[in-house]
Structure 1
């Protein structure tokens, strides 16, 4: 029976972590706070650039293969990695690590579970848990971790099999267990950006859905002034009929009638500069080159190459965080099958550079090495 489940616990003794919880018993400082999680979820929903950047980080991290030192177990290990169930909708260890990494960079923490079958001899599947429902505490030693969940009635339950729990934290502060989200510090900037976009939408509502001011000015004639109210009502009726009929109509009036577009003298505020400044802050925080997000900013070819190098180093960092997760799952599978061999994670190459440039760099390095060898021989 898995520790994580989508169903509601049947009793208080059930050891489960729900994928979604709305209980008011979770205090503000309990684990990775649910309000902070909702804030980051809303941030990705409200700002498409942020969601696109995080999705690209997960995809660009790339694939991998797991090599077992015992060659006789390699085929079974490959079959397990490709077909292990993940939740109720996915399969493969790659799917599990993709969702794990997405949670890690979004919330600063990620948790998963290795679910063992009823016989206790095989891995039934993997499950990505909700970090808001988990609390991690130090054990008897500095390197021991105890995991707790909280039921709807507010009681805490210690998970009896911590070795089945997979937990990672992103950049935890000194002396703390929980990590920090990549989105930390962005809500304030994003709220300003959303306010600007909201104002732009309101301005275009006023400009696109044009409103008119029709003014009737009666002449100095006494009869004309006495009939001013009736004529104004007649003009308003004919104008409304002409504007709402769905077809083009001529408007004919007698006397001094002035028609103006409301707000025609005003100009739309230029928002390019403030919007770009805010987007620059977001992009610098997410470490994604602007051209990968569809932002057409002026960028030289050399600058784009350097940005790709920086992104490569960022992806290598995330790979180092995910590698222990992969090893933990693969090692658990091998141990349950009676194999004590170690595993090695081999990641696919990150190719963000032009193949021609890479080949030219290898050629120049080979030529430089050859020149150094010749110079060394001449000195001898």
Structure 2
């Protein structure tokens, strides 16, 4: 293990040993469950709610470090954000004229290009938002208006590890913590997305929350494996030297010096050998090769057990983290459906946020309409089977109407609920 990885292991040990403690100077624990008192350099004090399970806020920085340095966790966050970033569709009311729709689309397109300070626009902003959501369990956006409030000038991401919440006026009020003081974030301009909220706690829960202990074990295992492989995994030469007999009249000290001189000379000559040179010695020197044929089956079994904990902790399936454990098609299909349900839940929150931003922009620009935002589906699993089943269901409804079992109005109502019909109309 190199110096950097060894430093990571020691760093993780130090952080995990301090879990549950607060920073002595900046944070003091209250006896009340409502929150913690957090001071700043200006001497002001705000009543802030703690993270779920009283997790120290410094753990948010730990999650970022793990994401950037642990390949499995980096891949998990990357996979989740790519699965979720499927794009969004704009849906207008049927009564909206085509002229107004075109105006609205143009205004929204211009806004998409402006946001994130023009650095990649809305697509890049959503990528940042999803990365934050699956790293810290939350993401924040701030709306920046043009000085005359004629349109939205920008939408920028907010560093969520600086966000704190205080209970004010019967609701949670967001603050941003800075060394020079705490900044109140206006509710009309600040948007906060939380993943897997815990009861009334306003903060989200990171998917990496359960993994630091497992990562510590993994790093120790990697360290042990590297040491073992370095010691026994490579072939090496074993030189055996039979000392010459002691000369007549030679003292013990002189004999030792002569033998050590021979050994140093032999070591010097052997260390300078190139690949196309041979060893020629007297018969009092034996040269053997110690084969590095040792294997470590126990290591791979242990490593797989740790990988399974990481896969479970990140709510993914083995194949999505580059593993193939020979899972059955049925298991893979069910697991992927569960993942897609989580994606739908998350994207519905993001869609509501985008809907709020877009409708605010339309109102500021004086365009008399509103838009509904809907996340596009990424479901490729069982698509043909679902389509076939839905087609058969619609054909059965038509036959039931022709036979007088149901009325035309009942048929129309059932057809309006069909996901197949809705997809064809988009």
User: One fold, TM greater than 0.5?
Assistant: yes
Mapped partners of 2:178, 2:290: distance in 1:
59
Partner of 2:87 in structure 1? Answer: 63
Partner of 1:53 in structure 2? Answer: 76
Over 3 Å counting, the alpha-carbon distance change for 1:76 and 1:363 in structure 2 is closer
Contact persistence 1:334–1:340 (CA under 8 A): yes
Partner of 2:132 in structure 1? Answer: 103
Mapped partners of 2:240, 2:257: distance in 1:
12
Contact persistence 1:113–1:166 (CA under 8 A): yes
| Unaligned segments of structure 2, at least 5 residues | 1-22, 29-35, 39-47, 406-426
Q: 1:126 aligns with which of 148, 152, 155?
A: 155
RMSD: 3.4
String of CA shifts for 1:180-206, please: whole Å, max 9, x gaps: 111111110111112212222233333
Contact persistence 1:216–1:232 (CA under 8 A): no
Partner of 2:351 in structure 1? Answer: 323
Question: 1:156 aligned to 2:179?
Answer: no
> How many residues were matched structurally?
349
Contact persistence 1:87–1:125 (CA under 8 A): yes
Q: Secondary structure at the match of 2:373?
A: strand
Mapped partners of 1:285, 1:134: distance in 2:
25
Partner of 2:228 in structure 1? Answer: 203
Q: Secondary structure at the match of 1:113?
A: strand
Mapped partners of 1:258, 1:270: distance in 2:
35
TM-score normalised by structure 2 residue count? 0.71
Equivalences for residues 167-316 of structure 1 within 5 A: 167-207=192-232, 211-218=236-243, 221-223=245-247, 230-231=258-259, 233-259=261-287, 267-268=295-296, 270-316=298-344
TM-score normalised by structure 1 residue count? 0.78
Partner of 1:44 in structure 2? Answer: 67
String of CA shifts for 1:289-338, please: whole Å, max 9, x gaps: 21122202111222222222122112112112212211221122122123
Partner of 2:116 in structure 1? Answer: 86
Contact persistence 2:117–2:156 (CA under 8 A): yes
Q: Secondary structure at the match of 2:191?
A: strand
Q: Secondary structure at the match of 1:101?
A: helix
Q: Secondary structure at the match of 2:222?
A: helix
